[in-house]
Amino acid sequence: MTDLNQLERDLLTQVEAASDEAALESVRVSALGKKGSVSELLKTLGAMTPEERKERGPLINGLRDKVQGAIVAKKETLAEEALEARLSAERIDVTLPVPEAPESRGRIHPISQVIEELTAIFADMGFSVAEGPDIETDYLNFTALNFPEGHPAREMHDTFFLAPDEKGERKVLRTHTSPVQIRTMTSKAPPIRVIIPGRTYRHDSDQTHTPMFHQVEGLVIDKQANIAHMKWILEEFCKAFFEVDQVKMRFRPSFFPFTEPSAEVDIQCSRKGGEIRFGEGTDWLEILGCGMVHPNVLRNCGLDPDEYQGFAWGMGIDRIAMLKYGMPDLRPFFEADVRWLNHYGFRPLDIPSLVSGLTS
């Protein structure tokens, strides 16, 4: 009897001391396994006399039941402790905002976003996108566009010229995307309807000018293209881009070497409260230049001005981005400040569409 009591105390102590399920399983096997201490005692019942079996049987079976019960209880305790530890380690503070998924943390730069918006608007009108190199020849950048010798744009203080090549020709960082108009007209037969977004370069730097900036131009060449068509396209563009139902535009006579007649275009706006709002108010803001393609430009591209005519326009992408999204300074566009991009940037999947809206 003393031996059974001591064995019981020892086994229950081992069960209570088990720190995990593996240790508890080891205690179970040592006590209740095929060769366990309790199992060996149960095997001796068969060799006992009926009197001994009557006396010792209940004691040994009771020991087995106590050990089994202790093991089951300890197993439940260990499971609860493991669950509590896991819940504590994986706890989520629901009072904080949900962390943004890694794939959506990046931001689309406003310039890239506006180019996508421009493309969506003009593609709906049947325009395609044309591109060209940033380094151009003097002929394509100036001469073919009817810029005469001595024009201010050809001066070193206005334009980035490269060193002369082996032929003595100086290439230039294009001052506008207009050379792509020449490349398009010399490589593609009319009718032509293209927009030309891209980088341009000029000697200029202040709050609203940078040495490198972005420009988009449009070109239409056809036998019957006229100013009325141009006016409608520009009005529809302004309404779609600034997302207003109606807008008034004012065309003021101007001069560009590559268009005749030429005009500066103002758009109706309100400046109340220090905020520019389009489609309302009595103020005006210049946003682009346009005109009918000059006959000399058509001739330089091998097109007969008596048969074909067209119109073109151009505007600064950076400028219209600032106007639409309320950016007061152009310089941060190119400073690579992630804080600025997080504030003004766009989510990667916010793809501009005329159906769902240019901006979400």
Which residues participate in the annotated binding site for Mg(2+)?
260
In angstroms, the Cα distances linking 314 to 2, 130, 225, 322 are 105, 14, 17, 16
79: helix, strand or coil: helix
Cβ atoms of 344 and 325 within 8 Å: the answer is yes
Which residues lie closer than 8 Å to 268 by C-beta, 6 or more apart?
A: 247, 248, 249, 250, 278, 279, 280, 281, 282, 283, 284
- How far CA 33 is from CA of 54, 70, 125, 349, in Å, comes to 24, 15, 84, 62
Task: State the CB neighbour count (10 A cutoff) for residue 235.
Answer: 16
The position carrying tokens 């096997």 is 29
Binding-site members are 260
Q: What is the DSSP string of 267-327?
A: EEEE-GGG--EETSSSEEEEEEEEEEEPHHHHHHTT--TTT-EEEEEEEEHHHHHHHHHT-
Phi, psi for 149 (deg, rounded to 5) = -60, 140
- The residue with tokens 């891209």 is 198
In 3-state terms the chain splits into helix, strand, coil percentages (rounded to 5) of: 45, 20, 35
Q: What is the sign of the dihedral through the CA atoms of 150, 163, 173 and 220?
A: positive
- The alpha carbon of 205 is separated from its chain's Cα centroid by a whole number of angstroms, namely 28
SS3 209: strand
Token duo for residue 312: 């073109």
